Structure 1
């Protein structure tokens, strides 16, 4: 029986980029403050208690910081975690879908990437969207978003 890998952040380069975005001071760890700051930059209205619970779940050595190993391990969802991964993916999608219409536009993508410090134009974002826009409507739906997130994941050999 072939096991199905989760679509959530399986590509280690992508995971490293996300980790580096969270690790704002470049210390090699993510503090509670950095976690809160990134979530706020993304427009998330996650309560401080909820962020603390997230931190406790990811911080397996309980030192108050999330290191690379803990972060990458957390991002490697197993089959048992696939429903959580789907929920996490939906939350990520919802952060980009600023107007809550069920689609990500190039303008929405541009706004979020700029908030995260990425330097790209609306035209760059349009090209990114075109690369995954399977129905040609000019937007990324949740289904297309899931496909985009899974494209770079490779099955274990």
Structure 2
């Protein structure tokens, strides 16, 4: 079930590196999911949704402009361009900072913990096609003490160790 979270927020294994084949496949899956018109390219809004899905944050206008560079005169970002952009972005990510950003994206009320409602809200925005019962199951797996809350420490542990174990 942690694959579900991996799909939504990504999985890193180092500070500066190249994308693995599995990550490239995930990039392509996100590309297809975010290609709302199924036309083979991502519009500016589609691209923003893809970045949220993969990295857990909405890119600024400046960042979106930078990513869209080279697409002038075309409809948007092609699959090949997207793969290159996301691979570069992944290589520049700091794993601990990424985990903090992802947690803050889920913790919309800045309480220091995530509830199942927070998770539903986040998944409805970044991966709306994922059924609610799958999100519920994921939450139950991460909420090991069953108190209805996932602390940052539990979230970080899951992101660093559970995903590394191949879940």
* Residues 96, 112 of structure 1: 8 Å contact kept: yes
Q: Does 1:117 align with 2:125?
A: no
User: What secondary structure does 2:14 align onto?
Assistant: coil
With the length of structure 2 as denominator, give the TM-score of the two structures. 0.58
8 Å Cα contact 2:57/2:102 also seen in 1? no
| Residues 14-93 of structure 1 aligned to structure 2 (within 5 Å) | 14-36=26-48, 38=49, 46-53=59-66, 55-56=67-68, 62-64=70-72, 65-76=76-87, 77-78=90-91, 81-83=92-94, 86-93=96-103
Q: Describe the shift of the 1:15–1:86 C-alpha distance in structure 2 as closer, same or farther (beyond 3 A).
A: farther
- In proportion to residue count, which structure has more helix? 2
TM-score normalised by the chain length of structure 1: 0.60
Question: Which residue of structure 2 aligns with residue 6 of structure 1?
Answer: 14
CA spacing shift, 1:86–1:70, aligned 2, 3 Å: farther
Deviation of 1:44 (Å): 5.9
Q: Mind listing any 5+ residue stretches in structure 1 that lack a counterpart? A: none
For residue 126 of structure 1, the aligned residue among 120, 124, 136 is 136
For residue 119 of structure 1, report the CA deviation from its aligned partner.
4.3
Check if 1:108 corresponds to 2:118: yes
> Deviation at 1:45?
6.4
**Whole-Å separation in 1 of the counterparts to 2:96 and 2:112:** 16
Figure out how many residues of one structure are paired with residues of the other and give that number: 139
Structure 2, unmatched stretches of 5+, are: 1-11
